[in-house]
Amino acid sequence: MRQQSPTATKRNPGKTVTPDYLRISLKPVMGDSIEVMEVYYRERIQSFNSMLEHMNVLDDAPEIEFLCREIIEGRAMLLTLAAKKKYSA
C-alpha cells in the first residue's frame, strides 16, 4: 500500500473570484430602531435596482436571479417593519 504525500491530501481551492454583484459593500445597520432599518433596506433595494439596470438577461442570468431574490426579501422586511412601526406608535 502506497502512502500519499501530505500535499496530495490537501486540496488547494485556488483563487476565488468574487462576482461583481457581490463586490458592492452596503453599509451595515448600526442601530436597531425601525427607522434605521427602513433606511437600510430602502438603500439596499435601490442599489440592487441600479445594478439590475446594467445587466443583460443572456449574460447575467444567475446574478439577476440573485438580485431579484434580495429585492423581494428586502421588500418583505420593509413590510414587516411597517407593521411593527404601526403597532409600536
Q: What is the residue whose three cell numbers read 454583484?
A: 21
Distances (CA, A) of 26 to 13, 39, 68, 69, 81: 27, 12, 17, 16, 19
In this prediction, residues 68-79 reach a mean pLDDT of 95
pTM over 0.85: no
- Indicate the DSSP class of residue 82: H
pLDDT, tens digit (0-9, with 9 covering 90-100), for 76-88 = 999 999 988 887 6
In this prediction, residues 28-57 reach a mean pLDDT of 86
Q: How many CB atoms lie within 10 A of CB 58?
A: 6
Contact 40, 66 (CB under 8 A): no
pLDDT, tens digit (0-9, with 9 covering 90-100), for 21-37 = 555 555 555 567 888 88
